[in-house]
Structure 1
Amino acid sequence: MQSQDNIIALATPGGAGAIAIIRISGNDAVTIVAPFFKSIKNKDLRKQKSHTLHLGHIADGDKVLDEVLVSVFKGPHSYTGENTIEISCHGSPYIQQEIIQLFLRNGCRMADAGEFTLRAFLNGKMDLSQAEAVADLIASDNAASHQIAMQQMRGGFSNEIQKLREELLNFASLIELELDFAEEDVEFADRTQFKILVDKIEHVLKRLIDSFAVGNVIKNGIPIAIVGEPNVGKSTLLNAILNEERAIVSDIAGTTRDTIEDEISIGGVGFRFIDTAGIRETQDVVESIGIKKTFEKIEQSQVVVYLFDSSLPFTNQIDHKQVQVEIEKIKNKFPLKPLVIIANKVDKLDNRQISDLKSQIPDIHFLSAKTGQGVEELTNKLLEFVNTGALRNNETIVTNTRHYDSLLKSLEEIEKVKFGLQDELSGDLLAIDIRQALYHLGEITGEISSDDLLGNIFSNFCIGK
């Protein structure tokens, strides 16, 4: 890691805009920029206090590149913990590149992906889980994922892990101390208190592990598969939910040959709706491939919405019996997936027909994808499948797969310690499992890390963050 280099990058999105921000970090950041910054009040940038703004021009010799606003942040009181300069210039791509190239020729190199946040971690400005939350915050596209990322970035998850680790470390120290006095057969660690602590840690770890089921779907969007026979209104329903013409709608059966996906935020939670090809017996090769993909998407979804056309003639009872058969097929094939049964085209039914359908299929919901009637009730129903109780109570929710894996490994070691206490194992054997539990907990916050791990995490960041 070349942490002594002075790095530069564009901190705002590329392309033209009103304003662009160029960020420079390193011990020499201020002295590198100072000779090329001409303050309108003749200030020497090197003599200015931290957290101050200065108006002037960036000039390469006699060539003025732009009028800019320069922000000065002196380490350790900066995002990276190093001296940092942020140059706010006009958003012309030409100006951005001219300024960046100027400083690349004069003591800077281009920052790697996530290198500013990596330096913040290395300089103790945040731990590793907080650093990862920065990337999640940038990627958040709904209220729920934003709330989780903010909570983690403020240290909610880190504090919980750190507290567990400290308590376990205290007992581990006493166990290790016993090993030094093995011949005297002295017991420093109260086994009864240690059992209580292990039970507590086990409970907290299980709660955090269980929260991943909620956190993962909130972070990535909850996939909802809309399925049914051809021409029952699946694409019309997708368009009604998204409030845009996303899918092609036609009276011709089998219009949708491939899956169509789009995302929307409902109640602050991201949902990913998947409009699938109609399920039916067909000789059409292309349509058959689409139907095969439909079952693959059902497998990947969290909730299945089964849609059928309720306006079929009621004299033809076979049609509705067939609906019940298809519903049972889906329930049998995917027994663990919540199934929402929707009767579409309710606007074409009278009260008697609605009552007849309710008697045949008790858990049915009615809507008209064409008019929008009942669509809001459907979205409210889908929200019921998301356990947002922990979110509302501001509890810690795990969203990161790496954290989830480390928690599982920690729990495995803690359970070994628990069994060891029950079997009255010697301190040296208990110490081995305690060390492993501490190691995996330390992996989460970065107290234990490797260059490979850090490289893998920060390579997923955008350059300039």
Structure 2
Amino acid sequence: MIAQDSIVALATPSGAGAIAVIRISGEDAITIGDSVFRSIKNKNLIAQKTHTLHLGHIVDNNKTLDEVLVSIFKGPNSYTGENTIEISCHGSTYIQQQIIQLLLRKGCRMADAGEFTLRAFLNGKLDLSQAEAVADLISSDNEASHQIAMQQMRGGFSNEIAKLREELLNFASLIELELDFAEEDVEFADRTQFHELLNRIEFVLKRLIDSFAVGNVIKNGIPVAIVGEPNVGKSTLLNALLNEERAIVSEIAGTTRDTIEDELVIGGIGFRFIDTAGIRETQDVVESIGIKKTFEKIEQAQVVVFLFDSSEFKVSGLKLKVELEKIKNQFPLKPLVIIGNKADKLEDSEIQNIKSEIPEILLISAKEKLGVEDLKNQLLSFVNTGSLRNNETIVTNTRHYDSLLKALDETQKVKYGLETNLSSDLMALDIKEALYHFGMITGQVTNDELLGNIFANFCIGK
């Protein structure tokens, strides 16, 4: 049921700024706006064309609240598909509150989180996956996540799903037709073509499902744990990566008593660096807690950077190898980057010796910022961005991923039924289930609980 009342909300971030935008949407939005707006040229907003701008004042009885610019968008040619106006006022929080309270008194109600986009979905302006992409676009904080959200909002993902669903629906109709003429033993659906379609659907679904591994990383960032013994330069490395003094650096072992996190975008991909307490035997209770947290952070990380003082390799090389083996054995599936810090203190012979002992090592100087770019490139190599560069559809939404898995499972059941000559009535049930999960992605199949969960995560005003 599409609500017919008019809703209002601040569409720009709360707080003071140069300009604030207040959005109204609903059947009476323009009428309500006209009741509080006084054009400098005595225009009636109701009589104006859609997609036009008008300068004037917001007036409460005889009190002028602000000079504003009003944008008019008449339904269905608006974001929500309804009559919509946007009031651009000065960014004073007092002015914002006064205008919104005035509009509430004139018949608007405060919009719920995501209600403007919900109305756009209900009015057919966006499908559900496109609507979810709006939230992803707002929260995107790097080039890759922005690119994926833009592609999905333009309908790249939903178009691919809709095409598969339409083809499967056509065959489902033919199967249903066969059931109507069951007594005459006729086949309307070409089994060879149907088998080819199922193979194509299975291939596309598997590709989309596999893309989630990359999509989830791009959307949420890659957690990277920086570990090693105390005072080897972990905090200095973090500062060098971030190009700022984020972590406390000192010569005192155990200075970092807790994990420190910050984010960096490399090649359009977000990395979340976690500087942990050093790994060593200690009697210090507080430091012991920090070391315990280190192993917890390694468990949570997708990449582990092990840092050691290369200038101490002659003395601690054997112990270092033991520590590396411990991490490799405990976390065999995690990429491990081994970094020898303070390489600026090494002689050429020492460098050759370390490389012969640990061939995969990357020698750097965090203090002098030497080799830091090589580290960034190595971290970026762990992310498969080929599909991103090729502009392929990438799945980032857990709900979509779950529906794709279920659609694949039902598609494979249909394929098995076709190959084993399963009766058409049983095969039709599996086809309906596959169509259901396709529809859940784009919103052709929805329920109030699903919509409530999705749009509750939106910001108010969008």
Q: Alpha-carbon deviations, 1:236-280, whole Å to 9, x = none?
A: 100100011111111111111111110111111111001011111
Q: Alpha-carbon deviations, 1:168-194, whole Å to 9, x = none?
A: 101111111111111111111111111
Aligned to 2:206: 206
Q: 2:448 aligned with 1:451, yes or no? A: yes
Specify the SS of the correspondent of 1:354: helix
Specify the SS of the correspondent of 2:238: helix
Q: 2:403 aligned with 1:410, yes or no? A: no
Aligned to 1:110: 110
CA deviation after TM superposition for structure 1 residue 287, in Å: 1.4
Specify the SS of the correspondent of 1:157: helix
Q: Alpha-carbon deviations, 1:10-56, whole Å to 9, x = none?
A: 00011111000000000000111112111011111110000000000
The whole-number CA distance in structure 1 between the counterparts of 2:171 and 2:273 is 50
CA contact (8 A) 2:2 2:122 kept: no
Q: 2:388 aligned with 1:420, yes or no? A: no
Aligned alpha-carbon RMSD (Å) = 0.8
Aligned to 2:178: 178
The whole-number CA distance in structure 2 between the counterparts of 1:6 and 1:35 is 14
CA contact (8 A) 2:58 2:66 kept: yes
Q: 2:347 aligned with 1:357, yes or no? A: no
CA contact (8 A) 2:406 2:434 kept: yes
Aligned to 1:430: 427
Aligned to 1:460: 457
The whole-number CA distance in structure 1 between the counterparts of 2:297 and 2:397 is 23
Aligned to 1:387: 384
CA deviation after TM superposition for structure 1 residue 313, in Å: 6.2
The whole-number CA distance in structure 2 between the counterparts of 1:313 and 1:60 is 76
Aligned to 1:369: 366
Aligned to 2:336: 339
Specify the SS of the correspondent of 1:72: strand
Q: 2:44 aligned with 1:44, yes or no? A: yes
CA deviation after TM superposition for structure 1 residue 321, in Å: 1.1
Aligned to 1:272: 272
CA deviation after TM superposition for structure 1 residue 66, in Å: 0.3
CA deviation after TM superposition for structure 1 residue 2, in Å: 6.3
Aligned to 1:215: 215
Q: Alpha-carbon deviations, 1:432-454, whole Å to 9, x = none?
A: 11100000010000000000000
Aligned to 1:329: 326
Specify the SS of the correspondent of 1:312: helix
The whole-number CA distance in structure 2 between the counterparts of 1:49 and 1:42 is 15
CA contact (8 A) 2:256 2:276 kept: yes
Aligned to 1:396: 393
The whole-number CA distance in structure 2 between the counterparts of 1:229 and 1:365 is 17
Aligned to 2:191: 191
Aligned to 1:32: 32
The alignment's TM-score, normalised by the length of structure 1, stands at 0.98
Aligned to 2:255: 255
Which deviates the most, 33-42 or 126-135?
A: 33-42
The whole-number CA distance in structure 2 between the counterparts of 1:34 and 1:154 is 33
For structure 2, the residue ranges without an aligned partner over 5 or more in a row are none
Q: 2:55 aligned with 1:55, yes or no? A: yes
The whole-number CA distance in structure 1 between the counterparts of 2:58 and 2:2 is 27
Specify the SS of the correspondent of 1:179: helix
The whole-number CA distance in structure 2 between the counterparts of 1:8 and 1:354 is 66
CA deviation after TM superposition for structure 1 residue 137, in Å: 0.2
Aligned to 1:164: 164
Aligned to 1:21: 21
Aligned to 2:12: 12
Specify the SS of the correspondent of 1:311: helix
CA contact (8 A) 2:313 2:354 kept: no
For structure 1, the residue ranges without an aligned partner over 5 or more in a row are none
In structure 2, the CA distance between the partners of 1:313 and 1:334, relative to structure 1 (3 Å rule), is closer
The whole-number CA distance in structure 2 between the counterparts of 1:273 and 1:130 is 31
Specify the SS of the correspondent of 1:247: coil
Q: How many residues align?
A: 462
Q: Alpha-carbon deviations, 1:351-373, whole Å to 9, x = none?
A: 10000000000100000111100
The whole-number CA distance in structure 2 between the counterparts of 1:357 and 1:66 is 70
Letter in 2 for 1:353: E
The alignment's TM-score, normalised by the length of structure 2, stands at 0.99
CA deviation after TM superposition for structure 1 residue 325, in Å: 1.2
The whole-number CA distance in structure 2 between the counterparts of 1:325 and 1:313 is 13
The whole-number CA distance in structure 2 between the counterparts of 1:407 and 1:425 is 24
The whole-number CA distance in structure 2 between the counterparts of 1:415 and 1:342 is 46
Q: 2:438 aligned with 1:441, yes or no? A: yes
The whole-number CA distance in structure 2 between the counterparts of 1:245 and 1:418 is 59
Aligned to 2:143: 143
The whole-number CA distance in structure 1 between the counterparts of 2:163 and 2:351 is 57
Q: Alpha-carbon deviations, 1:41-99, whole Å to 9, x = none?
A: 11111100000000000101110000000000000000000000000000000000000
The whole-number CA distance in structure 2 between the counterparts of 1:313 and 1:3 is 70
Q: Alpha-carbon deviations, 1:364-403, whole Å to 9, x = none?
A: 0000111100001100110000100000000000000000
Specify the SS of the correspondent of 2:311: coil
CA deviation after TM superposition for structure 1 residue 5, in Å: 1.1
Letter in 2 for 1:343: G
The whole-number CA distance in structure 1 between the counterparts of 2:219 and 2:159 is 21
Q: Alpha-carbon deviations, 1:135-190, whole Å to 9, x = none?
A: 00000000000000000000000000001100110111111111111111111111
Identical residues among aligned pairs (%): 78
Specify the SS of the correspondent of 1:24: strand
Which deviates the most, 9-18 or 247-256?
A: 247-256
Letter in 2 for 1:282: T
In structure 2, the CA distance between the partners of 1:392 and 1:313, relative to structure 1 (3 Å rule), is closer
After the TM superposition, list the runs of 4 or more consecutive aligned residues in structure 1 that deviate by more than 6 angstroms.
none
